[in-house]
Amino acid sequence: MFDFVQMLVSGIASGSAYALMGLAMVIIYKTSKIPNFAQGEMALAPSFFAYMLIDSYHLPFYIACILTFGFSVFLGCMIEIIVLRKAQKSNVLGMIIITIGLEMILLGFVSWKFGAEPKSMPFPISPYDSIPMKDLIKGTDLIIGTLELFTFTIALILMIIIFLFFKFTKFGIAMKATQQNQVIARAMGINTRRIQMMTWAISSFVGCIAGLLVSSITLHPYMMWDPMLKGFSAAVLGGMASLPGSIIGAYIIGILESLFGGYISIEFKSVVSLMIIVVVLCIKPSGLFARHYIKKV
Amino acid sequence: MSFFKVENISISFGGVKALNEIAFEVNKGEIFSIIGPNGSGKTTLFNCISGIYKPTNGKILFNESNIMGKNPHNIAKLGIARTFQNIELFPYMNTMENLMIGRHIYMKTGIFRAAFMLGRKSFAAKEESFHREKVEEIMELLDLQSFRNRFVGGLPYGVQKRIELGRALALEPKILLLDEPCAGMTSDEKEDMIFLVQDILEILGVTILLIEHDMKVVMDISNRILAINFGSPIVIGKPQVVQNHPEVLKAYLGEE
Ligand SMILES: Nc1ncnc2c1ncn2[C@@H]1O[C@H](COP(=O)(O)OP(=O)(O)OP(=O)(O)O)[C@@H](O)[C@H]1O
Ligand SMILES: [Mg+2]
């Protein structure tokens, strides 16, 4: 029982990082219809940017974080303006290739600038801090990692902000309109180009938070591959166009993966997410939470 | 001083001239109709006016300033709104939300349900209720109140057409482009729509450009008509003149 709860907790923590990566992908997918394979590296670059600020420029952690948020927003806007806006006439496959290209460029740049060996981010909470929970469940001494709790809390807050933003602000609603029918949104006076740009900015920001959270455990050029893959899996699981769907998908993957690792095999832990996807897509090809809208022809 | 004027615009698609030197002028407060056989370029003309297509030459003057080449959202902000030949609504939104999108250009804070978050007296809350009232007025005019909270997807065709019209009106346009507002309607719905169009002109003072295939409707409500065929203008004039013009008769009879 004790082991089970412990695994659940760590599954929820890693699920939180996946959820943020999944959200970041879905936000872009909904407005641009592009699965953004550069998402992981768009989170990687800001993490290393923060590391550089702290390590080379000796800025305090929190100030470095705030500057990094700004950097991630800037990066998102730039990628949209310089690359994707120009390429908009190309088809979806072309766009996918472009995002893969971007991914390699960012990865190459980070590897070249910082080297491949792991670094350690001077994160204020270390992976070894923990909060003992005596008798939370009768007769057990559950130990919750402070970092796990922190990751979960930050992810939760961010999700709530995103939800409120999309539901209640002028920009969020304009974004919904753009997602549903871009031509008409434009005819209604919505500057859809600006919406696209801000979509990339927001997504990049969400990814950046995920990157920073992951970097607290490990900081090296390939650190985002796993979270990115799981986030993408979660997004697909959720139907690719559903924000809550991708979050639920991410927690399903995080928890199942953790349980699988604990009870069956640590080596094959990472395979779980892909197995889940294969199974789900066989049973329900549109994902668990896709809304179906069949256009009359 | 002309209100709205199109000067010799042309556009081609892959070598085919969809519009060829189209020119006309619209007076404030009239219903100006565009007729022509299928594929003659009527919708293309609307797409050029609303900025979705960019004509290769010519000018489109609205209150004496050239709007050709501007982006659709800027043209909408200037006061030119439209509906579409095939209903184009936001499928995952209800009627109210669809119409509220039309208020987008007037929103400053745009924090919705602000009353619940920021308090009833806040600027955001007042702004929201102002826009809601505007939308309610439009819904009343178009008799849409009972569909307020219904998702638009499953509503009857005629109702969807009215919602689209309402969304365009929510922009408080000076010019309204209506692309076949009666298409696919029953004769009762058609009659209602004609009255509505006339109301919009009289009550809201909106100038109307209309594309319509039903000749009887067109002849009844238009002040003036432009007939085009294969993208080229045939004749502009009062309904009686256009109706009896030999080339118009030929274009229509030739089609059937
Ligand atoms: N985006 C486009 N790409 C290629 N050809 C186009 C495009 N838009 C319009 N056309 C062509 O321009 C011509 C005019 O089309 P348009 O839709 O304007 O006709 P219409 O007068 O509105 O016809 P209908 O009465 O059937 O609505 C057609 O031959 C059409 O195929
Ligand atoms: Mg047409």
Query: Which CATH number do you get for residue A38?
Result: 1.10.3470
Residues 18-37 of B with CB under 8 A from A: none
CB contact under 8 A, B112 and A168: yes
Please indicate, yes or no, whether residues B158 and B234 belong to a single structural domain of this protein: no
Segment B227-248 mean pLDDT: 91
**Tokens linked to A70:** 């700004």
Q: How far apart are CA A178 and CA A242, in angstroms?
A: 15
Total structural domains within chain B = 2
Comparing CA positions, the residue from A262, A267, A251, A213 lying closest to residue A5 is A262
**Contact residues on chain B for A293, CB-CB shorter than 8 A:** 91-92, 153
The answer as to whether A250 is a domain residue is: yes
B113 CB within 8 Å of a chain A CB: yes
Buried b (16+ CB within 10 A) or exposed e, B126-165: ebbeebeebbbebbebbebeebeeebbbebeebbbbbbbb
Confidence of residue B43 (pLDDT cuts 50, 70, 90): very high
Instruction: Establish if B86 belongs to a structural domain.
Output: no
A289 found inside a domain: no
Q: Do B76 and A185 touch (CB under 8 A)?
A: no
Q: Do B73 and B182 share a domain, yes or no? A: yes
pLDDT at A200: 95
- With CB atoms and an 8 Å threshold, state whether B81 touches A185: no
B171 touches chain A (CB under 8 A): yes
Ligand 1 neighbour B47 (Cβ under 6 A) = no
Check whether residue B104 and residue B67 sit in a common domain. no
Do both B108 and B74 map to the same domain?
Answer: no
Residues B251 and B182 in one domain: yes
B112 and A CB contact within 8 Å:
yes
Question: pLDDT (tens digit, 0 to 9) for every residue of chain A, 297 residues total?
Answer: 667 888 888 899 899 999 999 999 999 999 888 899 999 999 999 999 999 999 999 999 999 999 999 999 999 999 999 888 877 777 888 888 999 999 999 999 999 999 988 888 888 887 778 877 766 666 667 778 888 889 999 999 999 999 888 888 888 889 999 999 999 999 999 999 999 999 999 999 999 999 999 999 889 999 999 999 999 999 998 888 888 999 999 999 999 999 988 888 777 787 888 888 888 888 887 777 766 544 444
Of residues B20 and A287, the one with the higher pLDDT is B20
The predicted structure's pLDDT at residue B154: 86
Q: Find out whether A242 and A251 touch, Cβ atoms under 8 Å.
A: no
Domain tally, chain A = 1
Nearest CA to ligand 1 atom 28: B39
Name the percent of chain B lying above pLDDT 90.
Answer: 66
Question: What are the helix and strand counts (H, E) for chain A?
Answer: 11, 2
B91 has pLDDT over 70? yes
- Residue B52 to residue A183, Cβ atoms within 8 A: yes
- B90 contacts A180? CB cut-off 8 A: yes
Residues B46 and B149 in one domain: no
Range of the domain at A264: 2-283
Element (H, E) at A146: helix A146-168
Domain that holds residue B157: 91-172
User: How many percent of chain B have pLDDT more than 70?
Assistant: 93
**Position A256 in a domain:** yes
B95 close to B165: Cβ distance less than 8 angstroms: no
With a 6 A CB cut-off, is B207 part of the ligand 1 pocket? no
> Which ligand 1 atom is the nearest neighbour of the CA of B44?
18
Residues of A in contact with B50 (CB under 8 A): 187
- Closest alpha carbon to B175 in B61, B79, B99, B83: B79
Contact by Cβ (8 Å): A1, A217: no
Residues B130, B247: one domain?
no
Tokens of A18: 């996946």
- Residue where a domain terminates, one of B151, B172, B193: B172
Looking at the structure, tell me whether residues B168 and B179 fall in a common domain: no
Q: Is residue A119 within 8 Å of residue A223, measured between CB atoms?
A: no
Q: Does any CB of chain B come closer than 8 Å to the CB of residue A168?
A: yes
pLDDT at B25 (0 to 100): 95
Q: Please give the single-letter amino acid code of residue A93.
A: L
A191 in contact with B at a CB cutoff of 8 Å? yes
**Which atom in ligand 1 lies closest to the alpha carbon of residue B47?**
18
Look at residue B85 and tell me if it is in a domain: no
Q: Are residues B59 and B181 in the same domain?
A: yes
Cross-chain Cβ contact B90/A170 below 8 Å? no
Q: Could you tell me if A116 and A48 are in contact, meaning their C-beta atoms sit under 8 angstroms apart?
A: no
Q: Are A35 and A228 contacting, i.e. CB atoms less than 8 angstroms apart?
A: no
CA distance B164 to chain A (A): 10
In a domain, B84, yes or no: no
Q: Do B177 and B239 belong together in one domain? A: yes
The CB of B41 under 6 Å from ligand 1? The reply is yes
Query: What chain A residue is nearest to B90 in terms of C-alpha separation?
Result: A180
Q: At which of B172, B203, B225 does a domain end?
A: B172
Confidence category of residue B111, pLDDT binned at 50, 70, 90: low
Ligand number with the minimum distance to the CA of B39: 1
Q: How many angstroms separate the CA atoms of A181 and B91, rounded?
A: 9
Q: Identify whether residues B98 and B74 lie together within a single domain.
A: no
B161-180 pLDDT, tens per residue? 999 999 999 999 999 999 99
Residues B43 and B107 in one domain: no
CB of B183 within 8 A of CB of B213?
A: yes
The domain boundary residue, chosen from B172, B198, B224: B172
